[in-house]
Amino acid sequence: MYKQIINQLNFVIENNQIKMGNTIYGIENQKIFKSLKNFQSSSSQSHTNIYLKFKLKKEEKLNLFKFKFETDMQVLCSTLEKCINLKILILEFDWSKIDSQNAEKLGLALTNCINICILSIDLNGNQIGDVGASNLCKGLTKLTHLSQLTLKLNGNNIRNEGAIKLAKDIQACQRLLIVQLFLYRNYISVYQLNNILGKSKRLVKKYVITY
């Protein structure tokens, strides 16, 4: 059941299109980066649609050398800060040992990307915890054009306190219409999250997956 819901709600990138649920968005000049070095050397201000996917190989997931946290996150965030014309941003950094401090750095970097309309962040299987979840979402309130948000935070040791702060920050996003939260394998109450998000009259669709 869980996999069926994910397949239904996830972003799908195919044939120069983004599909989110039943809605399809055309993508022009989409840039896909699977190397941090290539992203760093690219023309940041020219980007409007970016798909960043720095994945560890399966056999290297428990090692640290592939994703050198402090240096790589610093490069990633400083480069993202320059992408001021972004409208669509998809980040996939699952199972990369990202902690609360690095989640905060990522959140701060996103505050410069004020033109983002569609944002998807995959941090499944990291270590951001309550503090990281809250700090990651603080900057979202400054994204005044953000209309669709997907956060995949499965298995991040997030508890009710962090999830509630996260939900309040999401509720404060002025133009947000659709939100998807994947919080499987955390320690939270879906009732509390839905209660907070349900107070937002702007949200036309919300999905909170916690099982």
pLDDT digits (tens, 9 = 90+) for 173-202: 989 988 999 999 999 888 888 888 877 777
pLDDT digits (tens, 9 = 90+) for 124-179: 999 999 999 999 998 888 999 999 999 999 999 999 999 999 999 998 898 998 89
pLDDT at 160: 92
| Torsion angle of the four alpha carbons 2, 125, 208, 80, in this order, in degrees rounded to the nearest 10 | -130
Residue 113 and residue 146: Cα distance in Å, rounded? 10
Residue 63 tokens read as 């090692």
- pTM > 0.85: no
Asked whether the beta carbons of 72 and 36 are under 8 A apart, the reply is yes
Residue 96: CB atoms within 10 A of its CB come to 23
Length of the chain, please? 211
Comparing CA positions, the residue from 109, 91, 198 lying closest to residue 150 is 91
Residue 36 tokens read as 């941090």
Asked whether the beta carbons of 31 and 42 are under 8 A apart, the reply is yes
Structural domains of the chain in order of their starting residue, each with its CATH number: 2-56+64-209 (3.80.10.10)
pLDDT digits (tens, 9 = 90+) for 63-115: 444 456 677 888 899 999 999 999 999 998 888 888 999 999 999 999 999 99
Q: Is 166 helix (H, G, I), strand (E, B) or coil?
A: helix
DSSP per position, 64-108: SSSS-HHHHHHHHHHHHTT-TT-SEEEEE-TTS--BHHHHHHHHH
Comparing CA positions, the residue from 167, 93, 150 lying closest to residue 125 is 93
